[in-house]
Structure 1
Amino acid sequence: MWRNSTSGWGLASILLHWLSALGFVGLFVLGWWMTGLDYYHGWYHLAPWWHRSVGMLVLLVTVGRLIWRWVQPTPGLPGSRLERFAAHLGHTGLYVLMLLVLVSGYLISTAEGAGISVFGVVDVPALVTGLPDQASLAGTIHWYAALGLMGLAAGHGLIAFKHHWVDRHDTLKRMLTPRFTQVRRHGGP
């Protein structure tokens, strides 16, 4: 039940998928909201702390997700050859943007040489610091990559619904039910 099969996703892949989705959407909303806070707002310093802490957890989940995807079989995709190619490009784009958002966020936070405190429990060290305009350049990349990720993720969701309701594929069911195998009935009672 935890592992993938050639016909469906295992519980581990499903949980990692939905944790990632929840994490990235939550971080995007929090990031958008906190950029509008003024210096005297009570959350001015607390919101970025939460954003960085959750961001580091999402980075951990994303790396785990990539490793799990690498060692597990990937269920086949329904649709035409063009649709399967587009799905491959879309998924690759999602992973690239996820990593770009997370790495650029890390580079913003560590630009001055300080590590990132994750909920005050563990500090993630600053491994890359002192690059020219590191915080500014990483901030620009972070913002546009986050916008691109949200746009591509919205398209990903809409296409999943299209496959479910229009094409009548089991794509959405497979991401909701571990190792779902579609049973087709051909006549009979």
Structure 2
Amino acid sequence: MAQLKNSVDGYGWISIVLHWLMALTIFGLFGLGLYMVELTYYDAWYKGSLDLHKSIGIILALVWIARVIWRFSNTTPQDLGDKKWEHQVAHLVHLLLYLLMLALFVSGYLISTADGRAIEVFGWFEIPASLMMDNQEDIAGVIHWGLAWSLMGLVALHALAAVKHHIVDKDRTLVRMLKSH
């Protein structure tokens, strides 16, 4: 029977849904970001794409917080296999994924609030501007760009490792993130 919570044997539906919801949203934001940087101020969707990117980014940050809370308040499934170094690398990569996402949220916030205006999230609520520095938008923009590409590189490594576990090691690592136990 499928479970909502994790166990030592596998992930529950809440962890699985949060994982894939965030993964798909991150890919979408990355694609939208690549599209946005090619637009000029006079393009029809210039402001709309920025507003959408910011709003989805804030919602993703809230989901990220929920996911971190869920992760630390829930059982962690046992590592599969007996390669201790591989388990350590996997844990490091997961930590880096979480930290890169956090840094992306902060740098995106700094870009979006550099002019002192709040971030409006789908007209539902606003995130106020609080930090102001010289060249904030430019500095945060360069950092955000580098972090986004770094995240995509680490996500690729993460995905390749999951496929390697499935095809080479023939273990349940990938399957555990596709269906609840």
Query: Equivalents in 1 of 2:131, 2:85: separation in Å?
Result: 43
Q: Secondary structure at the match of 1:136?
A: helix
Query: Equivalents in 2 of 1:103, 1:12: separation in Å?
Result: 25
Query: Equivalents in 1 of 2:97, 2:54: separation in Å?
Result: 20
User: How many angstroms does 1:129 deviate by?
Assistant: 2.1
Aligned match of 1:53: 55
Alignment TM-score, normalising by the size of structure 1: 0.91
Aligned match of 1:103: 106
What does the per-residue CA deviation read over 1:68-88, in whole Å, with 9 as the maximum and x for residues that have no partner?
A: 001111111123001001101
Equivalent pair of 1:27/1:55 in contact (CA under 8 Å): yes
**Percent of counterpart pairs with the same letter?**
48
Aligned match of 2:44: 42
User: How many angstroms does 1:39 deviate by?
Assistant: 2.2
Query: Equivalents in 2 of 1:17, 1:3: separation in Å?
Result: 13
| Code of the aligned partner of 1:56 | I
What does the per-residue CA deviation read over 1:74-129, in whole Å, with 9 as the maximum and x for residues that have no partner?
A: 11112300100110111111111011111110111112221111111211122x32
Q: Is the radius of gyration larger for structure 1 or structure 2?
A: 1
Moved more, 70-79 or 52-61: 70-79
Aligned match of 2:163: 161
Query: Equivalents in 2 of 1:75, 1:173: separation in Å?
Result: 13
Cα root mean square deviation, aligned: 1.0
| Code of the aligned partner of 2:124 | V
| Code of the aligned partner of 1:16 | L
Aligned match of 2:31: 29
Q: Secondary structure at the match of 1:74?
A: coil
Aligned match of 2:115: 112
User: How many angstroms does 1:135 deviate by?
Assistant: 1.5
Query: Equivalents in 2 of 1:18, 1:9: separation in Å?
Result: 12
Q: Where does the alignment leave 5 or more consecutive residues of structure 1 unmatched?
A: 181-189
Give the structure with the larger helix fraction. Answer: 2
Equivalent pair of 1:112/1:129 in contact (CA under 8 Å): no
What does the per-residue CA deviation read over 1:45-80, in whole Å, with 9 as the maximum and x for residues that have no partner?
A: 110010001001110111110110011111111230
User: How many angstroms does 1:35 deviate by?
Assistant: 0.4
Runs of 4+ in 1 over 6 A off after TM superposition: none
User: How many angstroms does 1:164 deviate by?
Assistant: 0.5
Aligned match of 1:152: 154
